Amino acid sequence: MTTTTGPHPTRRLILQGAASVALLGLGNLPFTAAPARAAANDKYPDEAFKQKNEADAIKALYGKTAEPSDKVKLDAPEIAENGGVVPISVTTTLDKVTSISFFVAENPFALAASYRIPDGTLPSVANRLKMAKTTNVTALVEADGKLYSATKEVKVTVGGCGG
Amino acid sequence: MAIRRRDFLKGAGLAAASLSLPRLARGTETASIYELERFGNARILHITDAHAQLNPVYFREPSVNIGIGEMAGRPPHLVGRAFLERFGIRPDSADAYAFTCFEFEKSAGRFGKLGGFAHLKTLVDRLRGDVGEKDSVLVDGGDLWQGTGLANVMQGRDMVEVANLLGIEAMTGHWEFTYGEQVLRDNLERFKGEFLAQNVFLTEEAAFNDARAFDPATGRVFKPSFIKELGGHRVAIVGQAFPYVPIAHPKRFTPDWTFGIREEELQKHVDALRGTDKVDAVILLSHNGMDVDLKLASRVSGIDVILGGHTHDAVPQPIAVKNAGGTTLVTNAGSNGKFLGVLDLALDKGKVSDVRYRLLPVYSELLKPDPAMAELIGRVRAPHVSDWSEKIATPDRLLYRRGNFTGPMDEVICTALRTELDAEIALSPGFRWGVTALSGQALTMEDLLAETAITYPETYVQEMTGAEIKTVLEDVCDNLFNADPYYQQGGDMVRAGGLSYTCTPTDAIGSRISELRLDGGKAISASHRYKVAGWASVNGRQGAPVWDVVGKYLRSGRMLQERLGTGIALKGVDGNPGIAG
């Protein structure tokens, strides 16, 4: 769909952003055919994207629960400058990362995006989220068969000093 | 105006019991409260949130400034007597008048106006002269270029000239951004100091399009810090602009830039200043607001002192905050030119060994105006001032703005909007700038502009459902009372005219506002549509500028017949020392 091999670091971010926007809009990001460690990731996760709440979406995608970890670094604004395009990114120092997923707790559908991380790839993903209202954003990292998470509240405001 | 030197000296003498307040006066002929005992080897002078007030002003500090959660009862959330007691200030002193709302009207007649750049210039020169020009630096925390009709028509150029003559060597910004990138850059070309902001970055789109940046590799739009040698040591001053510019103001002014608190980037930068540049001290020149600075100080290490602004809190003593690297002192230096922060540092190799801080009120009646600055102020004002000298009303009551929920000045604005635009309800922003007018003091257009002069002054009338009105009130209220300061934007509650409500600040967003009623007592219905007037919208509007609308109302003389006062009831904050008794 898009190539992410540009020499320009900014360009790569833009393209990652574009990919995730397309994912949100169409819900059909073609997953690569690389063999996955987790059985849940073998095919396009239709069911997970259909779940309304976060716990159900995580269950449908991974079939297990996550534990919070300070090795998952989620970068998101405290207050969104534009709720329609909220930039977030995740990096992790965990080994053997196989997937990274984003959830927005109170969006109509909680799962926003899920990335497969092939062997030898730096586990670093930037994304943009469309957020209906103030809520928690959670990043999940699947590493060595286990799930780790980081959560941050992102406030979506009507804006203005008021009035 | 008669000089009431005896009053000042009495006040100063009494206040000297407190360490951080001005020293006991010795003579009668000089303004000896400004004779500071020498301390350390470097002096940093700090002004912030002057809001372009070139001449001395009356400015009443708030009688409602509620702190919630961990901030309850802690500075800066103390008002009136609780404030005086916390800082050991005598109630009948000049300092009580400068720092609090206590007996404001009575004291205003006694101690006169504060601030004014010609007076400030005299004080700055004196305090720099005391320690030597080269061992001192003057910095500004932002909101320097906005707040008057003059600054608005000159787009801040007047204040750049004043800043240059005053000798400001570094500044950061907030309302400066509301003139847009081009004007900001043009002004900075003329500014002789540095504009510092570690937390302003290009958006990804702007970076992709190679928009201008100080550091294209990181996307940092402005220089993050500068290093100055003071007292034979290297002091780094890092700038922190207001983190929420594109949210609090129309995004169209800063389309290419993204802001935020940027704690991690700040930590990295501070670490680099310490590790690579081997500075001996790190000062953060911040426009975060005091609650945000207090939290930031607990999480970022390596900063010696935060010189803070934005929330307009005049706090006489620094607050010490522990963090992983040691202790950071947090200050906030008031607003409208009323105060000059004086930070004396004892610098050693790689560290600050001791600190003395004073927040000096700029008593205009005790300071001779500097002739060169007075001449400059006269010159920049000359082309415009006669247009705005018309007296449009003489209020029969004290008009001030500052306060968490309302102020009589905003009640006048709301009543004017409802009357002139024929609306049931008016909403007006809870700005913290805007000076105070005494009862019986004639209001001119220049005075009205000092309450309203912004780059998006258009008024509007629109229909809103009761549910939408509640959402707006809840949203703004959360900016003020969110238990986590990082989710607060500063500013006060949106002012509501024609509407009464109950607010429970300690509750969560969505359940703080209840009992919404129209004037007359009829309950607001969630689904009913109401005609609402307002101004300063972050969305583009086309209506007449608010100063024309309010000016027309005031000229009609109707203000004198209106009974002002809003029906806002507070719940769950009984005994909070952020409410004056």
A28 inside domain = yes
| Per-residue pLDDT tens over the stretch B469-524 | 999 999 999 999 999 999 988 889 999 999 999 999 999 999 999 999 999 899 99
**B276 shares its domain with B214:** yes
| Per-residue pLDDT tens over the stretch B423-466 | 999 999 999 999 999 999 999 999 999 999 999 999 999 999 99
B231 inside domain = yes
B11 inside domain = no
Mean pLDDT of chain B, nearest integer: 93
**B160 shares its domain with B290:** yes
**B188 shares its domain with B268:** yes
**B359 shares its domain with B491:** no
CA-angle at B104, arms to B396 and B13, nearest 5°: 150
In angstroms, rounded to a whole number, what is the distance separating the alpha carbons of residues B301 and B323? 6
A3 inside domain = no
Residues B167, B117 contacting (CB under 8 angstroms): no
In this prediction, residue A39 has a pLDDT band, given cuts at 50, 70 and 90, of: very low
Q: How many Cβ atoms sit within 10 Å of the Cβ of residue A32?
A: 10
Q: What are phi and psi of B463, to 5 degrees?
A: -90, 135
Residues B334, B307 contacting (CB under 8 angstroms): no
**B393 shares its domain with B344:** no
Tokens linked to B308 = 């803070």
Exposure on the CB side of residue B113, measured as CA atoms within 13 A: 19
A160 inside domain = no
pLDDT given for residue B541 in this prediction:
86
Cβ distance of B204 and A159 shorter than 8 Å: no
Interface membership of A77 toward B (CB under 8 Å): yes
Question: Using CB atoms, which residue from A134, A155, A161 is nearest to B431?
Answer: A161
| Per-residue pLDDT tens over the stretch A113-144 | 999 999 999 999 999 999 988 999 999 999 99
Last residue of a domain, one of B349, B378, B407: B378
In angstroms, rounded to a whole number, what is the distance separating the alpha carbons of residues B217 and B210? 11
Q: Is A162's pLDDT higher than 60?
A: no
Cβ distance of A157 and B475 shorter than 8 Å: yes
pLDDT given for residue B522 in this prediction:
95
Give the best residue of B204, B205, B261 to mutate against chain A (max A CB count within 10 A).
Answer: B204
What residue type is assigned to position B475 of the chain? D
Question: Using CB atoms, which residue from B204, B248, B260 is nearest to A13?
Answer: B204
**B316 shares its domain with B395:** no
Contacts of A7 in chain B (CB under 8 A): none
Residues B427, B494 contacting (CB under 8 angstroms): yes
Residues B237, B225 contacting (CB under 8 angstroms): yes
Q: Please name the residue that has the structure tokens 């290093």.
A: B227
Enumerate residues 6+ apart whose C-beta is below 8 A from B227: B234, B235, B236, B237, B273, B277, B279
Identify the helix (H) or strand (E) that includes residue A39.
none
Last residue of a domain, one of B315, B343, B378: B378
**B142 shares its domain with B272:** yes
Q: Where would I find the H helices in chain A? A: 9-26, 46-50, 54-62
Identify the helix (H) or strand (E) that includes residue B546.
helix B546-555
Of how many residues is chain A composed? 163
Range of the domain at B545: 389-570
B257 inside domain = yes
Q: Please name the residue that has the structure tokens 């500071």.
A: B36
B80 inside domain = no
Contacts of A155 in chain B (CB under 8 A): 478, 482, 487
**B301 shares its domain with B445:** no
Range of the domain at A50: 9-154
B182 inside domain = yes
Contacts of A18 in chain B (CB under 8 A): none
A110 inside domain = yes
**B203 shares its domain with B327:** yes
Question: Strands (DSSP E) along B309-414, which ranges?
Answer: 319-323, 326-332, 339-348, 351-361, 391-393
Residue of B nearest to A133 (CA): B475
Residue of A nearest to B264 (CA): A75
pLDDT given for residue B31 in this prediction:
56
**B371 shares its domain with B412:** no
Q: How many Cβ atoms sit within 10 Å of the Cβ of residue A68?
A: 10
Question: DSSP states of B393-434 as a string?
Answer: E--SS-B---SSS--HHHHHHHHHHHHHTT-SEEEEEE-S--
Residue of A nearest to B538 (CA): A160
Number of independent structural domains in chain B: 2
Question: Using CB atoms, which residue from B205, B430, B538 is nearest to A159?
Answer: B538
Contacts of B208 in chain A (CB under 8 A): 10-11, 14
In this prediction, residue A65 has a pLDDT band, given cuts at 50, 70 and 90, of: very high
Q: Average pLDDT of each block of 10 consecutive residues along chain B (581 residues)?
A: 51 40 36 88 98 98 95 96 97 96 96 98 97 96 98 98 98 98 98 98 95 96 98 97 95 96 97 98 98 98 98 97 97 98 97 97 97 98 93 93 95 95 96 95 96 97 95 94 91 94 96 95 96 92 95 88 74 94 73
**B368 shares its domain with B480:** no
In CATH, what number is assigned to the domain containing residue B447?
3.90.780.10
In angstroms, rounded to a whole number, what is the distance separating the alpha carbons of residues B201 and B207? 9
Residue of B nearest to A14 (CA): B204
Residues B451, B399 contacting (CB under 8 angstroms): no
Give the best residue of A8, A16, A74, A157 to mutate against chain B (max B CB count within 10 A).
Answer: A157
In CATH, what number is assigned to the domain containing residue A32?
2.60.40.2470
Cβ distance of A161 and B429 shorter than 8 Å: yes
B8 inside domain = no
Cβ distance of B493 and A162 shorter than 8 Å: yes
Question: Using CB atoms, which residue from B219, B248, B482 is nearest to A161?
Answer: B248
pLDDT given for residue B539 in this prediction:
85
Question: Using CB atoms, which residue from A80, A153, A158 is nearest to B472?
Answer: A158
Cβ distance of B486 and A162 shorter than 8 Å: no
**B355 shares its domain with B490:** no
A161 inside domain = no
Question: Using CB atoms, which residue from A11, A134, A163 is nearest to B536?
Answer: A163
pLDDT given for residue B7 in this prediction:
62
Distance from CA of B248 to the nearest CA of A (A): 4
The B-side interface with A (CB below 8 A) comprises: 204-205, 207-208, 219, 244, 246-249, 251, 258-261, 264, 427-431, 471-472, 475-476, 478-479, 482, 486-487, 489, 491-495, 509, 534-538
| Per-residue pLDDT tens over the stretch B300-319 | 999 999 999 999 999 999 99
Last residue of a domain, one of B378, B406, B421: B378
pLDDT given for residue B307 in this prediction:
98
* Cα B371 to chain centroid, rounded: 27
Residues B307, B333 contacting (CB under 8 angstroms): yes
Distance from CA of A5 to the nearest CA of B (A): 15
Closest CA relative to residue B191, chosen from B156, B219, B235: B156
A88 inside domain = yes
| Per-residue pLDDT tens over the stretch B249-273 | 999 999 999 999 999 999 999 999 9
B211 inside domain = yes
- CB-based burial of residue B208 (10 Å sphere; 0-12 exposed, 13-18 middle, 19+ buried)? middle
B181 inside domain = yes
Give the best residue of B404, B475, B512 to mutate against chain A (max A CB count within 10 A).
Answer: B475
